[in-house]
Structure 1
Amino acid sequence: MSDLSISDVLEQRRQQQYQAFMHQPMPTAEMRIADLKILKQLITQHQQQICQAIAADFGCRSASETALLEIFTSLESLNDAIKQVKRWMKPQRRHTSLWFQPAKNRLIPQPLGVVGIIVPWNYPLFLTIAPMVAALAAGNRVMVKMSENSQHLCLLLQQLFADAFSDEKICIIAEEGQTGIAFSTLAFDHLIFTGSTTTGKAVMAAAATHLVPVTLELGGKSPVILADDYDVHKALTRILGGKVYNSGQTCVAPDYLMIPEGLESELIKQSQAIMALRFSDIQHPDYTSIIDDASFSRLCDTVEDAVEQGAKVINLIPHSEPDSKQRKFPLQLVCQPTDSMTVMQREIFGPILPVVTYKTLQQALDYINARERPLALYLFSNDKAVQQQVLNQTRSGGVALNDVMLHVAQEDLPFGGVGHSGMGHYHGRDGFERLSKMRPVMYQAALSSTKYLYAPYGQIGKRLINFIINRKLSRYE
């Protein structure tokens, strides 16, 4: 039995990957594409096992939902990188100042080395694969630390990756207690963390020990604004559909809904009708369980707190109450919430949707801007002026107009937060560049006027300086 601590074991693995990287610091496009194709084949051939493993971790997770939200999105990320990586790798031309021509400037993408990825439990496959694709496309080695709530998937991925890749290229690590803390202190060349803002702060502080650059994908309370010009039924069809994905356990899920005053009764009626057609009860196999007992209890406490403080709670799943045995929680509206309620103080991460009313659009924007910047913002309006006003006056990680969440699945749009919802972006080319050193290189020409710009400065040099900045020569004499 080894006497090494978990920190020592992890550091050994990082060192092995770094040494392997130094032996091959610039993988060719063909090598990178080959790795991405192996990864694609691994996911494609083991879809059923992946769905089963994730379902076992959740207790109940629809295979169709995993296929749509995790397998499809992972494969799209891979397909895009396979198609684009050769173009991404090409040196970029940069302008050369007139005064330094005929020199040439280029920006050369080069691999960083070893990239660490800390994966949350809510989308454990996609949030493993998406940053991994960016890292491999950029030519890096990868160490992945899985969540303690993803034990079945972690074991499966360890087995599958061991057959497909060496540990020197991709290493999948299980959470064994304190593993995450040790992992975040390693001297990675870049660290990607997806999770809560509180944990993100701790990860960033740990990474600062070695000045490791970090990408933090956090969360926050992502608002939805329903403008008075948009069809209520169409909006709710999309909003409630997104909210039910993974039972609301999504970092970009609609966290609260803002509607014009006087629309509450109509909204409740329409919401009940929409959900009645979708689920007769929460025992439906496509209705996902809450991940663990602590999270289930937190949701129960959140609703109880709202009721005690005077909110009106509407259960949108007929004949259903929270089921602690299966950890299933029915989708509920919380109407007339106040800022003192827990439901409005922290990210909900579950099937609870507060409904806030506003008198004017500006009032709604002021309400949003008084809070921390969210990971996503959603607006339902066909009015171009309203759309532009919301875009101009708010800040968020990303935006979707007239839908929710789907911007995350767009590979050519960067994904990331701002402020308390995170920092840095990945997906597509943005992920490739985030995990590359975009190295500036100047190629000096055989003949250059800079020979006149070395001290001591002769008359030619002084005149040249004067000419360059259009000042009187006497100033430099």
Structure 2
Amino acid sequence: MNELPVLIEDGAALETAFTNQRQAMLHNAPADYEHRKSQLDRLIAGLREHQDSLVDAMNADFGRRAHSESRLIDVMGPIMDARHARKHLKKWMKPSRRSPEMLFKGNSTQVRYQPKGVVGVIVPWNFPLYLGLSPMIAALSAGNRVMIKMSETTPRTASVLADFLRSLYPPEEVVVVGGEVELAQHFSSLPFDHLVYTGSTHVGRLVMQAAAKNLTPVTLELGGKSPAIVSESGSLAMAASRIAHGKSVNGGQICISPDYALVPQDSVDEFVDELGKAYAKMYPADADGSHDTDVVTQRHFQRLQELLSDAESKGAKLHYLNDKPRSEKHLPLVAVTHVSDDMRLMQEEIFGGILPIKGYRVLDDVVEYINRGERPLALYFFGDNQAEAEFILEHTHSGGVSINDWGWHAFNHDMPFGGTGASGMGHYHGKEGFLELSNARSVFQRRLWFPIHLFNPPYGGIHKMAFRLFIGKPSK
């Protein structure tokens, strides 16, 4: 095997890393249970040991990022995911016995889950550890080798993560790739056995096009405009508090953050008031800012400002819930009322601390409005009426749902995380992630005593009897 840098940043090293992993996959037996468990054990212990350096790197990339949120999502999240996989791995790996058709009764049928091979993981900048390590956990659990392409927006995190993972795994098992957009394009063109991408819908389409040239299967975790529905049946204050939290964690830069709120028309003003109270309680104006997270780059910050300017120019009312930004890239939560569908913030995924609020009269109108758009990655319902919740669940589509809260369905690792339609395809987390990155291999084993010769020509009376038994007589 050729020697590789700890962090791969050029095309030649990228090709070498891929070749090395492919050769290692071909020339070694699939990793057994003990080896896979050891890989997960090392990750759990390593994250605990290196959490400070990882958190500091993410803080440096963002300019300022709440350390507690980094520990909660990017450190604790992968640890929880890996613990869940470790607990259930032996059961997941067992062949699944299946029932043969009556025609083949007495023979053996089973499904064996074998590694796919080399799995590529393309990571976004917003949660650079969780959204890189979680697919890696699924891939390693399934016995694969993994190449992780980090975002060019988080170079410090990429460097620290590369050192960290090299201390845990040889490069024939896991490598980290840095570099700019051109290297990401090169990465997505490699003939992986599976490619996982988390990020925007626009780039997701490009990744899928590149993968299609190699017939590489893809898992796409995208985004979209995830609605938060507030019902008259529940507490307006509770809904406002949870939605304010969802729009503020990580500066609102989350693919499953509530993108806009649908609120009973007569309660919109009160909802804005409650939103302001909740935000002020979480982020007091006189606080030191240690719980805030900046917009990741000046370019992203400028885009958010343009969304606000566009909305205001078209008649929207902007409600600044805290008019004292902590830095030049900090955007305190802004509620926006009197919105219309011709505004950019009602057409694009916001990915920041801006919450458009639309009033509605009846839930039928809510369902019709949501279903007019692309299917979102997440959907949220706030209310005490279970019949209303079931109505929303039955008449809408989304990748996941949280009721009376936001986002936490994606933090429970016994459930799959994924999208539908324009918000993605496939899953990771839990058993579904293991299955996603495994080849479900059907195995039929004929017992030697089984009279298979009866299926051979020349065809005669016994075949007619079988046809009558399994097909039946035609109607006259």
Asked if structure 1 preserves the Cα contact closer than 8 Å seen for 2:228 and 2:262, the reply is: yes
Residue of structure 2 in register with 1:140 after alignment: 144
Measured against aligned partners, the alpha-carbon deviations of 1:270-320 in whole angstroms (never above 9, x if no partner) come to 112222222233861111000001100001111111111111110112x41
1:277 lines up with 2:281 in the alignment:
yes
Aligned to 2:450, which of 448, 454, 458? 448
Aligned to 2:410, which of 403, 408, 413? 408
Q: Any residues of structure 2 matched to 1:110-121 within 5 Å, and which? A: 110-121=114-125
Asked if structure 2 preserves the Cα contact closer than 8 Å seen for 1:40 and 1:78, the reply is: yes
Q: How far apart, CA to CA, are the structure 2 residues paired with 1:187 and 1:305?
A: 42
Aligned to 2:188, which of 184, 187, 194? 184
Q: How far apart, CA to CA, are the structure 2 residues paired with 1:107 and 1:470?
A: 30
1:223 lines up with 2:236 in the alignment:
no
Measured against aligned partners, the alpha-carbon deviations of 1:100-133 in whole angstroms (never above 9, x if no partner) come to 1001211111001100000000000101110000
1:346 lines up with 2:348 in the alignment:
yes
Aligned to 1:433, which of 415, 430, 435? 435
1:167 lines up with 2:181 in the alignment:
no
Residue of structure 2 in register with 1:381 after alignment: 383
Partner letter of residue 462 of structure 1?
K
Q: How far apart, CA to CA, are the structure 1 residues paired with 2:362 and 2:214?
A: 48
Shift of 1:321: 4.7
Aligned to 1:30, which of 25, 30, 34? 34
Residue of structure 2 in register with 1:398 after alignment: 400
1:202 lines up with 2:222 in the alignment:
no
SS in 2 for 1:210: coil
Q: How far apart, CA to CA, are the structure 1 residues paired with 2:358 and 2:417?
A: 27
Residue of structure 2 in register with 1:299 after alignment: 304
How many aligned positions are there? Answer: 468
Asked if structure 1 preserves the Cα contact closer than 8 Å seen for 2:9 and 2:183, the reply is: no
Q: How far apart, CA to CA, are the structure 2 residues paired with 1:253 and 1:166?
A: 36
Q: How far apart, CA to CA, are the structure 2 residues paired with 1:267 and 1:142?
A: 46
- Runs of 5+ unmatched residues, structure 2: none
Q: Any residues of structure 2 matched to 1:306-325 within 5 Å, and which? A: 306-317=311-322, 319-321=323-325, 323-324=327-328
Measured against aligned partners, the alpha-carbon deviations of 1:214-233 in whole angstroms (never above 9, x if no partner) come to 00000000000001101111
How does the TM-score come out when normalised to structure 2? 0.95
Shift of 1:412: 0.8
1:41 lines up with 2:42 in the alignment:
no
Q: Select between 196-205 and 87-96 the one with higher mean Cα deviation.
A: 87-96
Shift of 1:403: 0.6
Q: How far apart, CA to CA, are the structure 1 residues paired with 2:11 and 2:303?
A: 32
Measured against aligned partners, the alpha-carbon deviations of 1:6-52 in whole angstroms (never above 9, x if no partner) come to 44432221111011111224211001001111111111100111110
Aligned to 2:251, which of 220, 244, 247? 247
Q: How far apart, CA to CA, are the structure 1 residues paired with 2:269 and 2:246?
A: 21
1:81 lines up with 2:85 in the alignment:
yes
Q: How far apart, CA to CA, are the structure 1 residues paired with 2:282 and 2:333?
A: 12
Q: How far apart, CA to CA, are the structure 2 residues paired with 1:464 and 1:212?
A: 41
Aligned pair in 2 of structure 1 residues 283, 200: CA closer, same or farther (>3 Å)?
A: farther
Measured against aligned partners, the alpha-carbon deviations of 1:165-219 in whole angstroms (never above 9, x if no partner) come to 1111100010234010000000000000000000000000000110000000000
Measured against aligned partners, the alpha-carbon deviations of 1:326-350 in whole angstroms (never above 9, x if no partner) come to x101100000110111110100000
Asked if structure 2 preserves the Cα contact closer than 8 Å seen for 1:25 and 1:113, the reply is: no
Asked if structure 2 preserves the Cα contact closer than 8 Å seen for 1:6 and 1:182, the reply is: no
Aligned to 1:288, which of 293, 300, 304? 293
Q: How far apart, CA to CA, are the structure 1 residues paired with 2:166 and 2:466?
A: 63
Aligned pair in 2 of structure 1 residues 321, 5: CA closer, same or farther (>3 Å)?
A: closer
Q: How far apart, CA to CA, are the structure 1 residues paired with 2:40 and 2:325?
A: 45
Sequence identity of aligned pairs in percent? 39
Q: Select between 88-97 and 51-60 the one with higher mean Cα deviation.
A: 88-97
Aligned pair in 2 of structure 1 residues 315, 364: CA closer, same or farther (>3 Å)?
A: same
Q: How far apart, CA to CA, are the structure 2 residues paired with 1:347 and 1:391?
A: 22
- Runs of 5+ unmatched residues, structure 1: none
Q: Select between 265-274 and 327-336 the one with higher mean Cα deviation.
A: 265-274
SS in 1 for 2:213: helix
Shift of 1:5: 11
Shift of 1:145: 0.4
Residue of structure 1 in register with 2:334 after alignment: 332
Asked if structure 1 preserves the Cα contact closer than 8 Å seen for 2:195 and 2:216, the reply is: yes
Asked if structure 1 preserves the Cα contact closer than 8 Å seen for 2:65 and 2:250, the reply is: yes
Partner letter of residue 170 of structure 1?
V
Q: How far apart, CA to CA, are the structure 2 residues paired with 1:421 and 1:322?
A: 33
Q: Select between 130-139 and 262-271 the one with higher mean Cα deviation.
A: 262-271
SS in 1 for 2:65: coil
Aligned to 1:263, which of 255, 264, 267? 267
Asked if structure 2 preserves the Cα contact closer than 8 Å seen for 1:100 and 1:449, the reply is: no
Partner letter of residue 414 of structure 1?
P
Partner letter of residue 284 of structure 1?
G
SS in 2 for 1:46: helix
Q: How far apart, CA to CA, are the structure 2 residues paired with 1:5 and 1:53?
A: 18
Partner letter of residue 296 of structure 2?
I
Q: Any residues of structure 2 matched to 1:356-371 within 5 Å, and which? A: 356-371=358-373
Residue of structure 2 in register with 1:94 after alignment: 98
Shift of 1:434: 0.4
Q: How far apart, CA to CA, are the structure 1 residues paired with 2:469 and 2:337?
A: 70
Shift of 1:257: 0.2
SS in 2 for 1:455: coil
Shift of 1:67: 0.7
